[in-house]
Amino acid sequence: MQIDLQTIAIKPLRHTFDNIARRIGADKPATRYQEGTLDMQQEANYHYRPTWDPDHLIYDRARTVIKMADWYSFKDPRQFYYGAYTMARAKQQDTAEANFDFVESRGLAANLPEEVRDTVLKLLVPLRHVAWGSNMNNAAVCAYGYGTGFSQPHIYHSMDQLGIAQYLTRVGLLLGGVDVLDEAKTAWMEDDTWQGLRRFVEDSMVLKDPFELFVVQNVVLDGLLYPLVYETIIDDVLSAKGGTSVAMLTQFMTDWFAETKKWADATVKTAAAESDENKAILTKWITEWRDRAAAALVPVARIALGDRTDELVGEVVQQFNARMAKAGVAL
């Protein structure tokens, strides 16, 4: 039986769930982001302590030294719940696919100047391992962070980084083949150029504080790496040398960074605005890890930038400092 109900108006008993109404201050219709995020994580009466971490509860505010009165102060400015997230990525994926097709079908990869192709293979392909490290680190923040407002974006970020590692793999396959993946891995494992960065990534993998890990990976390392590689090197330097098609293959990363940094900034800003203690901790973490990351990126940047490396890395660091100052952490 199909009932035509267009004409009847039924007055709802309530407009959203009570926990949402308490948080938004009134019983009014809530967004899917709100209903899919707020209080999703269990908060009370856990039955057992983790056998793998008996000093903590299943979800525990004390896993980080950052203190928040309410962990749901963290809001994702993109308002990503799963549906919004996958639909946004599918759209970007369509563009990326079209770009790869365009480059492939017109033989643009073959027409790349030798020097540009060589630079791309040497610089870009080993970065797939960095993205893989980030996939792992973001999984950790999702697993051990407190509150869905903070933990949720990290599973999206984790899988984005897996996607980026896979796009970089495709760039390698397109410009070289399976062999260049092996060569890049050897460079990642053995060449001096990459050891500072590999050490940085491996050192980040043993961090226990999920908020520190968020800062090290998503704020600091990506905050320097993406502007340096995808904006400065690929969009500017290589494009000027006839490598525009490379920028097409990495458009996903460029767009992704522009989008995700808004979330990273909002998260830093919220934590820093909470208390002077938080701000002091963030300042210390960001400063120390920024200096390490910048030093580790110099030999990598030199692959493409040669003599201009120090100057351009310096500029990227300056921009990063300005970005952090805007987010409330003056370095």
CA pair distance 170, 176, nearest whole angstrom: 10
CB 208 within 8 A of CB 214: no
Q: What are phi and psi for residue 251, nearest 5 degrees?
A: -60, -35
* Burial label, 269 (beta-carbon count in 10 A; 0-12, 13-18, 19+): middle
Q: What letters, b where the CB count within 10 A reaches 16 and e where it falls short, cover 226-239?
A: bbbbbbbbbbebbe
Q: Enter the tokens of residue 74.
A: 């963290």
| 255 Cα distance to chain centroid | 12
Residue keyed to tokens 């500072």: 196
| Residue with smaller CB distance to other proteins, 40 or 266 | 40
Burial class (CB in 10 A: 0-12, 13-18, 19+), 171: buried
The DSSP symbol for 56 reads: S
CB of 38 to other proteins, least distance (A): 9
Q: List the structure tokens of 319.
A: 């921009």
Confirm if 296 and 199 have CB atoms less than 8 A apart. yes
Q: Which residue has the tokens 């056998």?
A: 51
Q: Confirm if 286 and 194 have CB atoms less than 8 A apart.
A: no
| Least CB distance to other proteins at residue 45 (A) | 5
Q: In whole angstroms, give the CA distance from residue 239 to residue 95.
A: 19
The residue type of 295 is: A
